[in-house]
Amino acid sequence: MRRPVLAANWKMHSGPTEARAFIAAFTARWTPHTDRTVIFFPPAISLTTVIHALGGRADLGVGVQNIWTEDKGAFTGENSAPIAKDAGARYALVGHSERRHVFGETDAQTAKKCAAAARSGITPLLCVGELLAEREAGATNDVVVRQLEAGLSEIAADTIASMAIAYEPVWAIGTGKTATPADASAVHAAIRARLEKTLGQRAAEVPILYGGSVNAGNAKSLLSAPGVNGLLVGGASLDVQSWAAICDT
């Protein structure tokens, strides 16, 4: 995966009708690129609509925003990795800050979700990031490395080498505040250093994305920062022109 990765997290926006129109408009102006990976994470109900609308384009991937830890069972309202895989998902977000801080997802659950994705042949995109209070206390790297180690604790090195990590400082998500390129580089370096302990030179294969109030105006400076290999984009990915501009960066 070590090409720039540009991931659109639509969160709880865009039902099937809106998603179909978005993909039609986006693909009309977005020509295939082989030098970057573009991934859509629509709501689960819109997943198959997006997949069908993409018409099999290999340059555009689709993932789910969340999976449960088990492959099947009495878990009303949840989606499993095998179900997501059968629907056509190639990726799964794990540990997004909203899952952690709105829904109470624990480090232990992120480990099980990464393992569940790997079992089903879905690539996990593990999200890590600190709260504002943790940053102000100087604990950013400690928090990020703890979340990283937990999320990777139940999967094999080969799986880790083929996945992606996203650093998304919680204080910068949906707030309009963005970590500076230097801030992002520093945390990405800490993530890379921890990956090297497990993977050695293969750690270079893992793309590390930045997420947190990314938009068309700051995408270039963030992508130019040392160690930033892609972007996880929320609100700015809901507008076709904005998202296309970010993907063109």
Residue ranges of the alpha helices (H) in 30-136? 47-54, 81-87, 97-101, 107-119, 132-136
CA distance 155 to 93: 15
Q: In angstroms, how far is CA 222 from the centroid of its own chain?
A: 16
52 is annotated as an active-site residue: no
Nearest to 5 by CA among 54, 55, 61: 61
Among candidate residues 78, 168, 196, 205, the one labeled active-site is: 168
Residue ranges of the alpha helices (H) in 3-139? 16-29, 47-54, 81-87, 97-101, 107-119, 132-136
CA distance 243 to 236: 6
CA angle (245 as vertex; 244, 248 as ends), nearest 5: 85
Among candidate residues 78, 96, 136, 154, the one labeled active-site is: 96
| Paired sense of beta strands 91-94 and 60-64, if any | parallel
In three-state secondary structure terms, 163 is coil
149 is annotated as an active-site residue: no
Q: Which residues are catalytic?
A: 96, 168
